[in-house]
């Protein structure tokens, strides 16, 4: 959660880093508006898909999404409403993507393969024990049937 606060406070200066003149002020303003709109709409969307409960991960993702999405046009004169639209769309996509796309990727086993490839903290013995456990569970299921 602290990282989210840092993003909210310092991402506008990141977006304004390449701008010059009046563009810097526009970049900062557009970024704050975009992040704020992203987070506010995400509270609503998260409550809707979470049956009245907000998920803090959705808020964290939306904070990042709002700042990143407006980054390409932050110093342009898109207006406050344009920044709100960009942030709202980014927050909604990030929230729905995390909720539904992550589940889909787990169902088709894409994340499991990637997770196993990226594991550096587990040594080979631990992985072999996990595989043996899975094999034993499968054999037990076959014997029950």
Q: Is 52 left (phi over 0), alpha (psi -120 to 50) or beta?
A: left
Q: pLDDT digits over 65-74, tens only? A: 888 899 888 8
**pLDDT tens-digit readout, 23-73:** 899 999 999 999 999 999 999 999 998 888 888 888 888 888 888 899 888
87-100 tens-digit pLDDT:
999 999 999 988 88
Q: Can you say how many angstroms the Cα of residue 27 is from the centroid of all Cα atoms in its chain?
A: 22
Q: Which of 43, 28, 40, 33 is nearest to 81 (CA)?
A: 33
Residue 88 sits in the same domain as residue 23 = yes
Please tell me whether residues 28 and 68 are part of one structural domain.
Answer: yes
Is residue 70 within 8 Å of 16, Cβ to Cβ?
no
The single-letter DSSP state of residue 64 is H
Does residue 96 share a domain with residue 39?
A: yes
Domain assignment of residue 145, given as a range: 109-145
The verdict on pTM exceeding 0.75 is no
Give me the pLDDT at residue 128, please.
72
| Section 74-93 average pLDDT | 92
Whether residue 16 sits in one domain with residue 49: yes
93 and 51 together in one domain: yes
More confidently predicted of 120 and 7: 7
Whether 45 and 66 map to the same domain: the answer is yes
Our count of domains for the chain comes to 2
Q: Is the dihedral of CA 76, 81, 83, 85 positive or negative?
A: negative
- Do residue 95 and residue 114 come from a single domain? no
């Amino acid at each position: 959660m602290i990282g989210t606060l840092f993003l909210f406070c310092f991402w506008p200066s990141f977006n304004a880093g390449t701008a010059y003149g009046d563009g810097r002020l526009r970049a900062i303003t557009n970024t704050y508006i975009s992040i704020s709109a992203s987070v506010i709409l995400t509270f609503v969307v998260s409550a809707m898909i979470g049956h009245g409960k907000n998920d803090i991960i959705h808020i964290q993702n939306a904070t990042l999404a709002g700042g990143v999405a407006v980054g390409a046009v932050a110093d342009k004169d898109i207006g406050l409403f344009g920044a709100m639209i960009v942030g709202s769309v980014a927050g909604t996509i990030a929230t729905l993507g995390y909720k539904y796309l992550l589940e889909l990727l787990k169902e088709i086993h894409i994340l499991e393969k990637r997770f196993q490839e990226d594991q550096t903290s587990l040594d080979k013995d631990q992985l072999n024990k996990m595989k043996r456990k899975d094999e034993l569970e499968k054999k037990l299921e076959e014997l029950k049937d």
